[in-house]
Structure 1
Amino acid sequence: MIFIDPLFLFLFLPVTLIAFYLALLTRGRNEALLVIFTASIIFYAPYGISSVFLLLVALLVNFGVSNALLAMDDSNPYRRVLYGCGQGYNIASLCYFKYKIVTVLLGDNNDFLTDIAGVAIPAGISFYTFHQAAFLADAYVREKSVVEFFEGTRSLRSGFWAFCRYGAFVSFFPQLIIGPITYLHEFHPQVKSRKFISFDPLDIAVGLAFISIGMFKKVVIADNIAPTVDLVFGAAGAGAVMDPAHAWIGALSYMAQLYFDFSGYSDMALGLARMFGLRYPLNFYSPFNANGIL
């Protein structure tokens, strides 16, 4: 499912918003975040059952390791080992699914090489993996928000609600596929605040404005530049000789298409989060003005 899909805009989003605010105003924060978590899994389901399974496994592994790290004393020698195992799982999942690292030691085992090359990359795996890696690092150093987040999770019931909150934090559908990667200290204070358990029409208005701007960038600008890009790159791929003017047109068109595509989706993600009363950081802020990667 994508943000510009009519099914998303006119069915999934309205139903999720109604369910979220009904749960929030009649039940409370935990139930509202459970709605977000459940909706996010439904949003992700069209990308494949195997992708959903991998996401849920990653959530369980990182949640369990984080909880155990907080329960251990700093003097426990196994605490660092456990942290390394948790981050090792995150790194290994990226290496296998995203970067498809194949060691030269495999030699002539061509069947295995073929299997690796054919592995489908789960949508959003980079974002939700780095998201959880940052959370795990915060748990290891006992960051204040993470400690508060896990308080009172010693019973099965409280542990279930903590996992639902964690699932909503990591897999929140506006950021699941394209980011931004957020820290718990940016998310937790917002859901703890009194303002979160109220309905503010301004959040809906601002969210719709961001979504409209993002859709204009994506549908009107980026998608209308795409045919020019396809024409120039298709000709180059077919072996046609490109004169400098056409080469520059292709290169600049591609740059503009990529920019407005990412910028549009980023604006929509911010707008969707705002409709649920959450303010997420800008993750596509004037990249052409940047003087470095940070």
Structure 2
Amino acid sequence: MLFASIPFLVGFLPAVLITTFAMRRWFGLRGALATLAIGSLVFYGWYHPPFLLLLLGSVAVNYVLAQKISASQSRLLTGMGVAFNLALLGWYKYAGFFDDIARALSGNGFGIPDVLLPLGISFFTFQQIAYLVDIYQGKAKPGDALEYLFFVAFFPQLIAGPIVHHSEMIPQLSKPRFAMFKTEDIASGLVLFCIGLAKKVLIADGLAPGADAMFEAQALGIELSATEAWLGMLCYTFQIYFDFSGYADMALGLGLLFGLNLPINFNSPYKATDIIEFWRRWHITLSKFLRDYLYIPLGGNRHGPFRRYANLWLVMLLGGLWHGAGWQFVVWGGLHGAYLTTAHFWRANNMPRLSPTIGFALTFAAVVIAWVFFRAETFGQAYAVLQAMFGFTSVNYLSTAIFVELNPILVTLLLAMLIAFFAPNSIEISKRLEKQPIGTFAPLWYAIAGCIAALSLTHIYSSGSHAFIYFQF
């Protein structure tokens, strides 16, 4: 089920919200938890009901392992739990990829059938790996089965994050605001959700045809000009920005509606003035997971510069592969590994600091170049697009067909750039609202939220909406 869909907005969400509040009032915490857990399973099963068995099986195995690890502090059991989760992820997400590698190297694959990728498997797998490791390290203590099911399956973060830690979520359940009608939470949550909805429906979906037109033209063998290639890549650069930012805002807003603070996962990354800052702002919970559960266990920066940079490369290569089973994702991760290595080397050796403007421009350009591999279907396509972007083609005119596709989108692209580079982000807006009593500064933002919600709903009703890009990961 999509957040940006009529069934969710006028059916699922109001029903779950009202029922949860009622169950909290009549049956207390357990009633609210049960309602949210059941509602989340309905939400997940809406797309493909058989995957509910996979999710429930994963939850059951990890719950039992967590209980045993807590009782025994067994390193072996922890390793087995991590291996179980990685094996599950590997089968559904990477079996076909490794089969293709075997076929390319030997001429014969393993005969692995095509497997439908379960929604959210990358997210709930990493979340449960972190949980098992935290239990082993004493950072978390296992609760009961209902709490754990809720922790994994809570629908705002189940499909595309944020990756939530047990210690961040479960303690909030005992607070009076959880699953209770609180005017402040409802108001702030609706503002955040409406902002995110507009980002997704009005901006990200509006830019998608521009990126798609350029890549489809290249796939048909049309040679691209530099203008076409850059316009197409800028459309994709801001499409994925507002698509992911929109989901992050909607997830935070939905959490607030139920009285829960989910971790911030997105914080204006295109305002970054170096690539290190970019990764502290983009997909924040994934960056922290890779740091805490991969980079630091590998040795981090504790064994000299060579090991540090090797660890950075390995973490980013695996981070790229986490995003998708394809070599283009590995290259995307490798590029960011190279960027980060260069940035850390520059800092470690006290090189002259670049001005914020130059740093911003270089960082943004590097990110756009890496997105070429992230979006391209093949290496050949990525190479062709990069050639066009840097003028290594014979085309010096703008193709009429692509221009017609892109021209109506230029206004949306300009608006997206202005918002991403200069406007306060939703987190900053939310913090301002929290400091103001309802009835003073807040009505302006509520009016804005209402207007963009109306525009978004009108668009969804007339044209529908696309799935989030991160649903495929």
Question: What's the TM-score once normalised by structure 1's chain length?
Answer: 0.87
RMSD of equivalent CA atoms: 1.9
Q: Which of 80, 84, 96 is matched with 1:85 structurally?
A: 80
- 2:115 is matched with 119
Q: Hey, what does 1:58 align to over in structure 2? A: 58
Count of residue pairs the alignment pairs up: 272
Give the Cα separation in 2 of the matches to 1:198 and 1:250.
Answer: 46
Selected match of 1:223 from 205, 225, 242: 205
Q: What is the rounded CA distance, in whole Å, between the counterparts of 1:260 and 1:278 in structure 2?
A: 23
How far apart in 2 are the matches of 1:107 and 1:113? 13
Q: 2-side partners of 1:61 and 1:109: how far apart? A: 34
Superposed counterparts of 1:42-191, under 5 Å: 42-72=42-72, 74=73, 79-100=74-95, 101-102=98-99, 104=102, 110=109, 112-115=110-113, 118-143=114-139, 146-147=140-141, 149-150=142-143, 162-191=144-173
| 2:31 alignment partner AA | E
Contact conserved, 1:47 with 1:122, CA < 8 A, in 2? no
| 3-state SS of paired residue (1:277) | coil
- The structural deviation recorded for 1:108 is 6.7
Q: Which runs of 5+ in 2 are unaligned?
A: 280-286, 288-473
Q: Does 1:291 align with 2:289?
A: no
Please state whether the residue corresponding to 1:113 is helix, strand or coil: coil
1:291 positional shift: 2.5
Aligned equivalents of 2:251, 2:152: Cα separation in 1: 14
Q: Counterparts of 1:186-205 in structure 2 under 5 Å?
A: 186-196=168-178, 198-205=180-187
Per-residue CA deviations over 1:222-252 (Å, capped at 9, x if unaligned) read: 1111122222211111111111111110111
* 2:420 counterpart residue number: none
In structure 2, distance between residues paired with 1:228 and 1:80: 51
CA shift for structure 1 position 283: 0.5
Cα distance in 2 between the residues matched to 1:107 and 1:230: 35
Taking structure 2 as the reference length, what is the TM-score of the superposition? 0.55
Q: Distance in 2 between the 1:286 and 1:248 partners?
A: 22
Against the structure 1 CA distance between its residues 269 and 238, is the aligned structure 2 distance closer, same or farther, given a 3 Å change threshold?
same
- What is the DSSP-based 3-state SS (H/G/I as helix, E as strand, rest coil) of the residue aligned with 2:178? helix
Residue 169 of structure 1 aligns to a residue in which SS?
Answer: helix
| Paired letter, 1:81 | L
Deviation of 1:259 (Å): 0.8
Given that 1:217 and 1:263 are in contact with CA atoms closer than 8 Å, whether structure 2 keeps it comes out as yes
Cα distance in 1, alignment partners of residues 47 and 180 from structure 2: 33
Contact kept, 8 Å, 2:147 with 2:170, in 1: the verdict is: no
Whether the 8 Å CA contact 1:28–1:197 is kept in 2: the answer is: no
Are residues 53 and 197 of structure 1, via their aligned partners in 2, closer, same or farther at CA, if it must alter by over 3 Å?
A: closer
User: How far, CA to CA, are the matches of 2:179 and 2:266 in structure 1?
Assistant: 29
- Following TM superposition, by how much is the alpha carbon of 1:114 offset from its aligned partner in structure 2, in angstroms? 4.3
**Structure 1: gaps (5+ residues):** 151-161
Alignment of 1:233 with 2:215, yes or no, is yes
